[in-house]
Structure 1
Amino acid sequence: MNVLAFDIETIPDVAGGRRLLGLSDELSDADVAEAMFAKRREKTGSDFIATHLQKVVAISAVYRNSHKDQFSVWTLGNEQSTEAEIVENFFAGIDKHTPTLVTWNGSGFDLPVLHYRALINGIQAARYWELGEDDSNFRWNNYIGRFHLRHTDLMDVMAGYNNRAFAPLDEIAVLLGLPGKMGMSGAHVWEQYKAGEIKAIRDYCETDALNTYLVYLQWQFMRGQLDATGLAAEQAVVRTALAESEPHLIAFLDAWGQGRAS
């Protein structure tokens, strides 16, 4: 198993919004964002910003390579990293390790955002975009194909590729005895960002990546890729790592322990 389960957190791309809406440089970022929200509400009835105007502020990941006995949870870059540095770091990791990517709604949100932000920031991602021209192994299993497992969008797969059956990660996680959302949600990221609480955003993103990875383990058990012993062993790897980790991950472990038996 060579898996990278990840999640992203975003804010409005106020620089892009300023250009597209023709707004003055004297207008504050907060006011530009409010104008973007208003424009979006006028167009769609929702203030959820369009994918290409979502700026990445955090990418958190759970990496598991069972062949090398590696497990880690981390957020790319640091609190001062630019969007370009974060996105470039993400695609560089794919170039280096070629992991199976695991997401919840990654096809609908995370990856399209990363596509646009890599394009806008001038970032190359050759391995990610490989479709079999240089590596025949990617011809029928690549990161782009919806029905391929090199990128496994668990929400899409579990819904049978039927958007009427989509479910929130938080609810599925809780049903499995996992912590789900801890302390905040994606809807609060912009307010947290304006308040300078970058660490809180990064910590929250890591817990979402953990929820995603642990749901993935249950899915691997369901489809017979792990037996009961293997599932318990993989969960034990996570528990051991979290027990020796940072406070927000220890809190995740404690909340996990309060759920139903694995």
Structure 2
Amino acid sequence: MNIVVFDIETVPDVVGGRRLLDLQGLSDDDTAKAMFHLRRQEAGTDFLRHHLHRVVAISAVFRSKGEQIAVWTLGDENADEKTILEKFFHLIERYSPTLVSWNGSGFDLPVLHYRAMLHGVASPTYWDQGREDRNAKWNNYLSRYHERHTDLMDLLALYNNRAFVPLDQMASLLGFPGKMGMDGSKVWSAFQAGDIKGIRDYCETDVLNTWLVYLRFQLIRGDLQEAEFLNELQIVKDYLQREAHPHFLEFLKQWQSAE
């Protein structure tokens, strides 16, 4: 079975903000500030509504048959939002993987839905609820209780938002690295500074944490035995060492120091 663990990073959609909130004539920075201010007045939080998040990175862990694993960010550093979305949904069309996320149902996927609508990005396999594939009626990507998409945070909390846990804390509690050098609140400033690589690297460490937490979940529900679980961890370590990207090596260093 192919498994894709995914995570997205976003910035304010300043073009959409100008259109919807009558902010014409403002710079990107001032538009974003106005969007945050209006949102605070509306809801007491800076967190924008899902449709006003522009996707700037989608990272994935791809685990396929055998001992094959890959970690990467879709598209290159110059890819626009539509290209990034097309590459994500192409993965689904080509491989029909099991999707794994942390809060993907609450944030990542709704954002991807709205942005795919905006750009006209099609994905018949993703949206199928049994019309084309009868089996998809009982196991599809859209149902909260099906396994084509496993939102680990939602499932572990028993679908109770009072029991939600941040990925950083859950990963660290289990002895994995957690956050490394950036968090979601810093993505907009990093984007303004042109640090797209830093955003992509951060997103990749988030999907690595999610994958490791998912492996522990696979252990407790009996899909992996102890020896298999340890072997999966070693596969990740070997991959990080082999690829030798600086953020991979730092992730590995922090992981080993926490063991």
Superposed, which structure 2 residues align to 1:163-242 within 5 Å? 163-242=161-240
- The CA RMSD measured in Å over matched residues stands at 0.8
User: Deviation at 1:56?
Assistant: 0.1
1:218-246, Cα deviation, whole Å (9 max, x unpaired): 00000000000110111111110000121
Superposed, which structure 2 residues align to 1:1-262 within 5 Å? 1-24=1-24, 26-65=25-64, 67-245=65-243, 246-260=245-259
The residue type equivalent to 1:44 in the other structure is: A
**Corresponding residue SS for 1:128:** helix
1:93-132, Cα deviation, whole Å (9 max, x unpaired): 1000011000000000000000000000111011110111
Give the Cα–Cα distance (whole angstroms) in 2 for the partners of residues 206 and 219 of structure 1: 20
1:130-181, Cα deviation, whole Å (9 max, x unpaired): 1111112211111000011110000001001111111000000000100000
2:67, 2:235 within 8 Å by CA — same for their partners in 1?
no
When structure 1 is superposed on structure 2, of 172-181 and 125-134 the one drifting more is 125-134
**Corresponding residue SS for 1:37:** helix
The residue type equivalent to 2:16 in the other structure is: G
Give me the TM-score of the superposition, normalised by structure 2: 0.98
Structure 2: runs of 5 or more not aligned:
none
The residue type equivalent to 2:47 in the other structure is: F
The residue type equivalent to 2:9 in the other structure is: E
Give me the TM-score of the superposition, normalised by structure 1: 0.97
**Corresponding residue SS for 2:124:** coil
| Aligned length in residues | 258
Structure 1: runs of 5 or more not aligned:
none
Quote the sequence identity (%).
56
Give the Cα–Cα distance (whole angstroms) in 2 for the partners of residues 86 and 177 of structure 1: 32
User: Deviation at 1:68?
Assistant: 4.4
1:22-55, Cα deviation, whole Å (9 max, x unpaired): 222x321000001100110000010111101000
Give the Cα–Cα distance (whole angstroms) in 1 for the partners of residues 251 and 88 of structure 2: 24
